[in-house]
Structures are given as structure tokens and as C-alpha cells.
Amino acid sequence: MEIWINPACSKCRSALTLLDAEGADYTVRRYLEDVPSEDEIREVLGRLGLEPWDITRTSDPLAKETGVRDLPREETDAARGLWIAHLAAHPKLIQRPIITAEDGTAVVGRSEEAVREALSRKG
């Protein structure tokens, strides 16, 4: 299990606290320092079953500043590629925390329920 976090994020800290309380075996990835590649973002999106705009923090001021809100939300490889490239270039815009579960899936762990769901997914 791996968790992508921003240590300044309260949702990330809450998720780590819950993982620790449950004795989970996990690896922390500080994704603002260890920026995921476009391929890694594609893989996580596949595990999440989501589109790139679903994991983009579009309300962040950086989203407006960088123009990500204006990218097309079309279920095409070209549109997805634009979003994924934007997330790789601006990792601050990636929703957090993202937890990859043992069964090959992933969740956006913004709630206790989502973190517990990741914990329950055994390989």
C-alpha cells in the first residue's frame, strides 16, 4: 500500500493517523517532492477508475492561474493526455491523499470511510 500525501494537508495527516492506528503496512510518497510521472498518473487513474479531471483540485487558485479549468473534459486520449500532462507539471493540483490498495485498486482517501475502504481491499 502506498499513500500520496502533502504533509501540510489535514486530510493526509488524518489518513496517516488512521493507517497507523490500524497497523497498516504502507509507504509514504510526498508527491510534491517525488512528483509522479505521466505514466504513474495514468496507472493511478486506472486503479481509481476515474478521469484526470476527477482528481484535479480545480478550485485551487493554481488551477485558474495555469488554465487547467479550460482544458476539455472529453473522454478521449488527447483530452486525458492534456490533463495528465498538466497534473505531472503541477502536482499541487492532484487531489490528496491517494491510497493504492493491496488488491490493485486505489481510493482518494479524503474521508475516514475511504481510508477504511482501502484498508479492507486485500489482494
Active-site amino acid positions:
9
- Residue 43 C-alpha cell reads as 496507472
Residue with cell 510534491: 32
- Residue 82 C-alpha cell reads as 492534456
CB-based contact 36:44 (threshold 8 Å) = yes
Give the relative orientation of helices 10-21 and 112-120 as an angle to the nearest 10 degrees. Answer: 40
Counts of helices then strands in the chain (DSSP H, E)? 5, 4
